[in-house]
Every structure is written in structure tokens, then in C-alpha cells.
Amino acid sequence: MSPLLDVRDLTVRFPMPKPSLFAPRPHLEAVRQISFTLEPGRALGIVGESGSGKTTAAMATIRLTEASGGEVHFDGVDLLKLSPEKMRMRRRDIQLIFQDPYSSLNPRTRVNDIVREPMDLMEVGTPAERRERVVEYFRLVGLRPDQLDLFPHQFSGGQRQRISIARALTTDPKLLVCDEPVSALDVAIQAQILNLLARLKDELGLSYLFISHDLGVVRHVCDDVAVMYLGKIVEHAPRAALFDAPQHPYTQALISAAPSLARRKSKGYVRPLKVSGDPPSPINPPPGCAFAERCPRAQPLCREVQPELEPVGGSLAACHFPGPDEALRDAS
């Protein structure tokens, strides 16, 4: 089966102010030649700290942020080479669920019009068919049709996110890009929305590109996980392989820093790694591994040569010394 989404060497660079009149213009290297694929009907989670480049990578993939280089093949077509008009027609196959349900809905517009808007813009069906689809998807996400004439402020945060999901579904998309879709919600409501997304994925055959800093959320929804650090993917693996036997020290640090995951002492669990300091500047990334200065197992090679993603233990890991550290393995 050919992948629905095939991203190759995607790069995003933002120009920065010149330090002086005659100095060369520096660039912030937000995304540095990342590659990944997404199969139809699967969910790929992209995780990492704030500033790792995960959201920028996702937005560049769907051309909401300008890419500086690379290829993004969606259904066999390179999105980065499409004209604005052809890209607009592709939007019906790619929809976005925003992070904040409080600011992503127009407070002066009734919910019926909010959910119908993508169909109006892309001329999907007749006006009567659009009304029927709005009612259908409103029910599908767990809301009542008699609420369609209300305004967003009359709904709770979880209900607003359900409205956002219904709006994204009305064009029958193949890919949903979920940008931290539950981070602004209470924990109890998060579980409801995650269960809804998982159910919709199975029932409608959707594919998700799921952006999150919360590994527990990613574990619940995603089939595959890509871990980003300073604009690079440092580990890419199926969910079970990544959580049971993380290979990259940064992935191990992320998992050990999540209490709900650290308590699950499955195989591959290691004691929390002692990671200190801050990531390097994305304006001047180091020549070797970007994690080397914070990594407890770094060697001189790590600071000199940038590691490539290579198969190891069921994962792809960009590390010169991958695998669990036996000295740190839980002894209990």
C-alpha cells in the first residue's frame, strides 16, 4: 500500500534580523530536513518539547507555513509544487483541528454556519445537502441538532472542540492534522475527546497527523510516533516499540518525565535520565548531535558527527549509541 503522506527532506528556515548592516542575514533552522510517511487509516504522532519544531513541521506539510525545501507527496502529488488554486482544491482532503477551541470559533456566528462554512467555501454539495451533513456530523461527534442555532459561548470547552471536529469532517477529508487538540481542556474532557477521535478514525477510515507534547495522549491515539528535537526527528517507531523499548536517550528522558508512563514499568523502562541545560540555539545548530550537550552518554563522536536515522531495536533512531542504558535500567 502506497503512503497517503510521504514527506522527504522537509526544511523550514525563518530569516532573522541582521546583527549589523553588512553582516550576513542569519536564519532560524526550525525544521531541518525531516522525512516521514503516513499510511492510510493510521495516526502518526509528532512529539517533542516546546520549540522542537513539531507544529512548524506539520504546518509546512499542509502549506500553512512556507517550506524552504523538500517534498510533500499527498496521494502521489507534491503539495509544495501546486499552484494556489490547485492547493485550495486539495484543502477539502486535508483539514485542521486547532489547539484552542475558545479562539478557533467565531463568537458572532451560529454553530450551524461555522460547521457548514468549509462546504460553502469548497462548494461541496447543494445547500440542502450541506444542511443534512451538518446535522449528520453534529450527531456523529456527540452533540444535539437542536443546538445548531446556538453561539459558541453557549458551549463548554469540550463541546466547542467537538464542533471543531464536526467542522473538519464535513468535507470528507482523508487527513486530519490535529494540533494539540486537547491541551486546552480539562483532563476528564481530554479523555472524551481522545476517545471520540479514536472512534472516528476507525469508523471513517481517517488518517491523523497528531501534534502533541504529551506522550500519554499520543500513546492513546497514535499508531506510530516521531520524536523531534531541535528541528530533527531523533526517533521514529511504531507505538509499542517506542514505549516498550525507546532507543534514543531523548525519547527515554521524555518518557521518564511523564509520571503516568514512568509508572508503567514495561520492558525497556529506564530510570529517569539526568538531563540538564537547554537545547542549543536553532539559529546556530551544532555540527554533531543537537542533544549531545545534555545527553548523559555522549562521546566526542556525538559532538562532531550528526547521526542519521537508522534501524535499531524496532525503531529508527538518530543516535551513535542507541539502546537502553543498562546502568540506568530499573532494578526492581
H/E/C letters for each residue in 235-279? EEEEHHHHHHCCCCHHHHHHHHHCHHHHCCCCCCCECCCCCCCCC
Q: How confident is the model at residue 332 (pLDDT cuts 50, 70, 90)?
A: very low
Query: Looking at per-residue confidence, does 113 or 279 come out higher?
Result: 113
Alpha carbons 247 and 259: distance in angstroms, whole number: 19
Mind giving me the DSSP string for 199-227? HHHHHHT-EEEEEES-HHHHHHH-SEEEE
Instruction: Give the pLDDT score at 185.
Output: 87
Residue 66 CA: distances (Å) to CA of 56, 167, 224? 9, 25, 25
pLDDT band at 259 (very low <50, low <70, confident <90, very high): low
**How many other C-beta atoms are found inside a 10 Å radius of the C-beta of residue 21?**
5
Write down the pLDDT at residue 124: 86
Fold of 5-229: Rossmann fold (3.40.50)
Lowest mean pLDDT among 76-85, 238-247, 272-281: 272-281
Enter the C-alpha cell of residue 223.
Answer: 499508531
Average pLDDT of 189-197? 94
pLDDT tens column, 125-164: 888 999 999 999 999 999 999 999 999 999 999 999 999 9
Q: How far apart are CA 215 and CA 223, in angstroms?
A: 13
Q: What is the pLDDT of residue 329?
A: 43
pLDDT band for 103, please (50, 70, 90 cuts): confident
| Average pLDDT in the chain | 90
Per-residue model confidence (pLDDT) at position 275: 73
Mean pLDDT of 271-279: 70
Query: DSSP letter string over 59-72?
Result: HHHTTSS--SEEEE
- Position 271 scores a pLDDT of 54
Where exactly are the structural domains of the chain?
Answer: 5-229, 248-332
What's CA 92's distance to the chain center, in Å? 19
pLDDT at 226: 97
Amino acid at 5: L
Task: Inform me whether the pLDDT recorded for 32 exceeds 70.
Answer: yes
With a cut of 70, say whether residue 285 has pLDDT above it.
Answer: yes
- Give the phi and the psi of residue 329 in degrees, each rounded to 5: -65, 140
